[in-house]
Every structure is written in structure tokens, then in C-alpha cells.
Amino acid sequence: METRELTVVAGSFVGFQLLFSVASPRLSSAITPGYGRLPPNKLIEWNSRGDPNLVKLNVAITCGYLLYDLVLLACNWSTMGDSFFVCHHLAALYAYGYVLTRGVLPYFANFRLISELSTPFVNQRWFFEALKYPRSHQMVVLNGVAMAVVFFVVRIAVMPSYWVSVFATFGTPEFERLGLGAQVAWITSCIALDILNTIWMYKIARGCYKVLTGRGGRKVEAEKPSCAEEKHANNHTD
């Protein structure tokens, strides 16, 4: 990674931390009655199930990457621009801001990060492309199939259990203590991310089916995304 890229990553991370450390608590105090009167132990909310500081570290690293990726997209929009990526990154940053500043919902935040287990296969696809492996190469196809399977398991198959856990919190005192801002950020961001994941899964499955069945001939290679290529034309995660 070049010095310029390292600078962008570090600057994004530090900037994000400063922004939400200063701005978010003040915003919460302004829009949520009684927020400033909460004792410190109530600011670290419910469902921690472990050390929330470790979860916040995971989330902070993720947010630094998302901010860097947004800068990268903006600087190279003509070749890398993707509106779905922008929506994904902004939705994630919106919700994770509350995790970092108020320590809320660490269990659910970490649960969402399970989806990044599909990222190594996405990155490997980029290496194959950079090394100019043909898309019909056995390793490329196997990596694409593995990506499709893992993407389904960690992003689609987990949806029912996740939303059951979410719905179980509705109407509880803990849910009310979150405040409207955190509630809206939590629910709307999850809905947006799951819609995006469903769209991407459909495209991956359709391309994978064509590759495995041999339908479409050369058109299969040109279609994006397929199971033998990443679901987007660049090396990002979702």
C-alpha cells in the first residue's frame, strides 16, 4: 500500500473517531430528553454479551475502511463508481456511529460483521483478475462458487435468526432506553443492508448458474456479477 493510501486510511479513521466522539453525544443530548442525565453504566447499553470495547475495536476498524473506500470511490468514480456501494457504506457508518459513541447494541453490531467472512473470496477474485487469470480457469471458478456459497451462508441464511432477535427486543424497556435516534439508525440501516445483500445474492446466483450449466457461452464471462467474478467491478466488501 502506498504512502498516500496509508495516509487516507489513517486520516479517515482518526477523522471518524473525532467526528462521532464530539458531534454524536451533543446531537444525542439535543434530540433525546434526559440523555445527559444517564449514568455512565447506562450509556453502555444492553446485550453486551462480552466486552463491548472489543466489539467497538472491530467496528472502528470497519468504519476506517468504509471511509477510506468512500474516498477511493469518489476519487475514481469513472472507473470504480457504484451507487450501491455508497448506499451500503453510508448505512453501515450511520448505525456503527452509535456503537462507537454510546456503546449500544454490541452483540447486534458484531453479528452484522459476520457478513465480512465472504470478503476473502472477493479479495482473491481481485488477485486472479490482477494476475490476468482467465475467468474460465478452474481456480477462478472454484473461488467464485465458494464466494457464492459463503455469501449466502453469512449474509442471507442468517437473516431469519437475526430479525427474530431484533423483533424480540421491541417493546422492552431496554429498547426504549436506546432512544429514537439509535432505534432509527439500527432498524433502517439493517433493512437497507439486507435489501442490498438480497440484490447482490440474486445476481451472484444467476451468474453462477450460467457458469455451472454452460448457458450463455461467452456472454457468461461478460456478465457482471457472476460466481466466477466478484459481484462488482472492483475490490470492495459489503
Identity of the amino acid at 115? S
Report the alpha-carbon angle 143-209-218, nearest 5. 85
- pLDDT surpasses 50 at 1: no
Q: Residue 12: pLDDT band by 50, 70, 90 thresholds? A: low
Q: Is residue 154 classed exposed, middle or buried when 0-12, 13-18 and 19+ CB atoms within 10 A define those classes?
A: middle
Mean residue pLDDT of the chain comes to 76
The residue ranges of DSSP E strands in 7-48, in sequence order, are none
Residue 182 and residue 204 in contact, taking contact as beta carbons nearer than 8 Å: no
Residues 74-122 pLDDT 10s = 888 888 778 888 899 999 999 998 888 888 888 888 889 889 898 888 8
Q: How many CA atoms lie within 13 A of 150 on its CB side?
A: 16
pLDDT digits (tens, 9 = 90+) for 154-207: 999 999 999 998 998 898 888 888 888 889 999 999 999 999 999 999 988 887
Rounded Cα–Cα distance for residues 211 and 46 (Å): 46
Is the per-residue pLDDT at 236 higher than 70? no
Question: What does the domain layout of the chain look like in residue ranges?
Answer: 51-213
Residue 78 grid coordinates: 469513472
Maximum alpha-carbon separation in the chain:
65
